[in-house]
Structure 1
């Protein structure tokens, strides 16, 4: 007779192998999270699983642990393939597989764009157990890399499935589905359930167990959500005020455009704040280098677009600021999910100008709650206006001089940071240690 959810108090109670229990213990994971309690037992019984859970709820371990458990019994190459919508998320998933599978010496290959295919082909020649990648690059290797095939694949995972089904990935995903065995286990995970996700489950899952560890569009209970109505001309003053009030905190600031991340990074550094941008216009090495500087604490403010709003588990993010609130309210859920992860607390503050009121109302309707107003005396905030104006003027001048390119660090420094992040001197177990 199976244990009920309330009786499961440890990873041993889930029925995992001793090796994986040891790995969880080394990572400091004592008690499984809700999505893990609900998803792992049916996955161990060989069921397909659909998991709907808040971002930051432990979804990656919910599919990684059953796969590693099965791999112990059938240690074949190209055993599982995990598809993700972003390069950074793919790398992070691989790191967690390596951390959990360190005891059993699991081998992973990351297949993402922006990095040399030749090096990835060499890794594939070593016959890794787990493939993690973005659909486009995985498909490139399936078509062009000699000796690489997923014809004996046992497990397919679609992470952030709602995003994988947009027009950027749908064609590649359909081709991959036609090149892998129909007889396989499939795990589909997402923070939100959309009509496209429902369509996909009918196409590629067999009698799946559906796990809903959260309401359809919910945010973490430990997240304090606030807003502030501000005139567009004073938005930079409020941003500077909040960041200086929370000096020393780790913050992610979301903007609508790539250029805005660059401009605001120059602007904030002119105010003496340690800020670095990341966006889709940067090459992959620069993006990874920026993430490493943020994760290592060299910079405590990350200026970003929605390229990093999905899935990334960046430890100790204290605050998310929506400098530009998203026009799609579902993107708000993913953005604010960068903080208050795995039971930790966090703050999300949205700066809403006169042109964004409708989007703000849509966000409140989606999450089913009214946001609290961020308390600030406008008179006190505007004391920064002169200093902010000068910092913004210098930032605009530098943007024009550099053509919008990020020149906060030399290319060699950024590439060195990227290599550290991507694998050299990496210790993934520390990254996933639970507080």
Structure 2
């Protein structure tokens, strides 16, 4: 029965097989189940090959809804951010549709949960492209982006990374992949800069073994030791899912550091910091990476008397920014809470406004044309615009535009990275994360070779 459905539906054998294993096809009827959001797979090689052999989305007829994919960790390590990320994406798509849609067509947000894993990103991307027929993609994180990078180019699916810090994109984007958040290179440098400015000379490191956590940590270590003359007293690397982190925490905090740098995902960070709390290391300051900017982490730290934790991270450009002023009430109406820098929601919103304007600029959903239009609508010269409706009106009047997002200007360099990211020192205040001060990257500090 499943074989007949595979042939009838015209999907690849690998995707068909993965659905059967994952429960996406009913084992009796062989038909596709309606619930397809949660993925657990280990099919990276097979699915990438299958997706690469599938039909080119650029050949799709210019009819029906414009489909933008949202491939995001709604569960797993990035799960705590998932609800906020999806809400922001929905706010953006609602704005696109309220503005008349894109190319006169309604916009549909097609959601896939990648489980916060590269394997989930691969299978989710295959689902979005082979079955749903998306025209562009957003929502993806670092590990997932690296896993589907080649296939994105092969299928010519314009992709915006709203939470991809990985240094792997420092020199490889700008063709089909664009990043509107600072690189982990920036985050690693600013982390070292903050450590230096706080007067720390000896720092221990606790680093989870994953692309998203090792990427900024490696930059931090290189800049802190090679360019600042600092010392790393212990560099402790560990896997997620350990039964206990007692040994790792003890090794780092008992190595004589002035501070401890922690790069970990949320699901690892919580038990790790609980162990830190239990062992009474509150006299040693913490430098955390952006993946730990969550209310739960802030609550743990604020519950420990005398504890100090700071994060050198990206920030929102909220001063005199009409895009931000318009976004905040719409997001709050959607979710019941105002935007928080800890959840990266505003970048999720910006990416779909960019995709909508780029598609309108291109006059087609063809992937190559839309990708080429992204830097054209995000960079000067052009009329500075702060919303989809404003940008669309200028495009229809024959004018070039320069979209300024909720988070900052969206000016991109030749490899699709932000030219001037906004950075800040963030700390725990009254039980929550708050910006202590905005800072500029020290121009004397450079990316390690």
TM-score (norm 2): 0.28
Larger RCO: 1 or 2 (CA < 8 Å, sep 6+): 1
